[in-house]
Structure 1
Amino acid sequence: MNNTIFDDVFRTMIEKMPYLAVPLINEVFHTSYPENVPIVQLRNEHQQENGEIITDSCLKIAGKLYHIECQSVDDTTMAIRMIEYDFSIAIE
């Protein structure tokens, strides 16, 4: 599936201005990060076996990883997928 301009704008916003994602993360995951929280951007692109390049956003904030992606489709709908990974929990 090809990206639309909306997908590209969302990805560019997250890559170039990740602090704009903080209020969204706070709302979705019920966190309370300040707007100036340190954010580490991690590798966000991989290639599938068929050659298709997938670009998502992965942000590290306070010991947690946030996977964020936006996808719009031909039927004019848009999906924003967000996943939180908490690596601060000890595994026994």
Structure 2
Amino acid sequence: MTAALLRHPAALDTVVFGHEDAEFGQITAALVMTEEADEDRLVVDLRTHCSALVAGFKVPRMWWFTRRFPRDEIGKLRQTSVQRLTRAIPGHRTLA
């Protein structure tokens, strides 16, 4: 899934992960580093792009966007940092 997202020109970097969901238990989610300002349009573009490359169940249903990733002092992206960021900013939920 990460490779498919990175083929989109607006996705500068990305991390795909499981996100807790009340209805399904867990859903596929993505944190995307981008310079794009129109996040609503970007969700549609990324879903369309990914749907053409991978099976539908692999396409994220929850999306977060950021200008930079929360990397530690040696450049690693820590899971706790991703969780903190996704709790701090609103995500975009998509159906199907």
- TM-score normalised by structure 2 residue count: 0.28
Q: Which has the higher contact order (CA 8 A, sep 6+)?
A: 2
Per the normalisation by structure 1, the TM-score is: 0.29
Rg larger in structure: 1
Q: Which one has a larger percent helix, Structure 1 or Structure 2?
A: 2
